[in-house]
Amino acid sequence: MTLDSIMACCLSEEAKEARRINDEIERQLRRDKRDARRELKLLLLGTGESGKSTFIKQMRIIHGAGYSDEDKRSFTKLVYQNIFTSMQAMIRATETLKIPLKYEQSKNNSLLVREVDVEKVTTFEQPYISAIKQLWTDPGIQEAYDRRREYQLSDSTKYYLTDLDRIAESSYLPTQQDVLRVRIPTTGIIEYPFDLQSIIFRMVDVGGQRSE
C-alpha cells in the first residue's frame, strides 16, 4: 500500500468520524427542538390565600404521581399547625368582634390554646386535643366561624375541626384530601412538573409576595 493510499484511507476515516459526530449533533438538536415544543411552563400568579399552591397539589394528585405514604407523613405536623392556627384565629375573633364564650371551661381552654407557638407544633396531644374539641362546640366559637368573612380564617378550618377524632389518633396518617387542604405560606419558588397528553407542564408558584 502506497503512502498516498494510506493517507487517503486515514482522511476517509476522519471524514467518516466527523460526519458521524455532525449527524449526532444534528439529531440532538432536533430532539431538543422537539422536546422544547412538548414542554410548557406555567407561572401561577395571585395574592395569598388565592389557591395557587392548592392548585399545584391538585394537579399532582390528578395528573402526577400523587403522594406516597412518606410524602403524606411529612404533612402531619402541618395539619396539626393548621388546626391550632384556625382555633387561635377564632379565639382572637371572639375578642375583636365582642362575641362572648358561653361555656365556663372555654375561657381556660382558650388561654391554653392561645399560648401555643404554632411554628413549634409537631404533635397533637392532650390536653390540647380536648381543649380544641371543647372550644369547637362553644356557641361563641361557632359564631366566630360563621362571621369568618370579617377576618382571615383558613377555608379548611371546618374540614379539620369536624374530624378531630381521626386526626388525634396516634396512628394518624394524612389522607390526600388532608394534604390538599393544608395551608402552607409559600416562600421562594415551588416548581412541579407533570405530564399531560405527552406535554410536560411545569407549574411554578412564586411565593414571598406581601399578601402571602
Catalytic positions are 49, 54, 183, 205, 209
Does 143 appear as a known binding residue?
Answer: no
Residue type, 210: R
Query: Which grid coordinates are listed for 191?
Result: 416548581
Residue 52 among known ligand-binding residues: yes
Any binding-site annotation on 35? no
Bin 157: left if φ > 0, else alpha if -120 < ψ < 50, else beta: alpha
- 155 labeled part of a ligand binding site: yes
Neighbouring C-beta atoms of residue 201, cutoff 10 Å: 17
Is 54 annotated in a binding site? The answer is yes
181 is in an annotated binding site: yes
Alpha helix ranges (H) inside 64-175: 69-73, 76-96, 104-114, 128-137, 139-146, 157-161, 164-167
- Known binding residue 207? Answer is yes
Q: Is 180 annotated as a binding residue?
A: yes
Residue 28 marked in a binding site = no
- DSSP 8-state symbol, 83: H
Residue 138 annotated in ligand binding: no
Radius of gyration, CA atoms only, the chain: 29
Cell of 15: 471524514
* Preceding peptide of 139 cis, ω within 30°: no
First-to-last alpha carbon distance for the chain, in angstroms, is 79
Q: Write phi, then psi, for 68 (nearest 5 degrees).
A: -75, 170
> Is 188 assigned to a binding site?
no
Distance CA 86, CA 68 (A): 27
47 among the known binding-site residues? Answer: no
Residue positions in the annotated binding site?
A: 49-54, 155-156, 180-186, 205-209
Residue positions in the annotated binding site for Mg(2+)?
A: 53, 186
Residue positions in the annotated binding site for GTP?
A: 49-54, 155-156, 180-186, 205-209
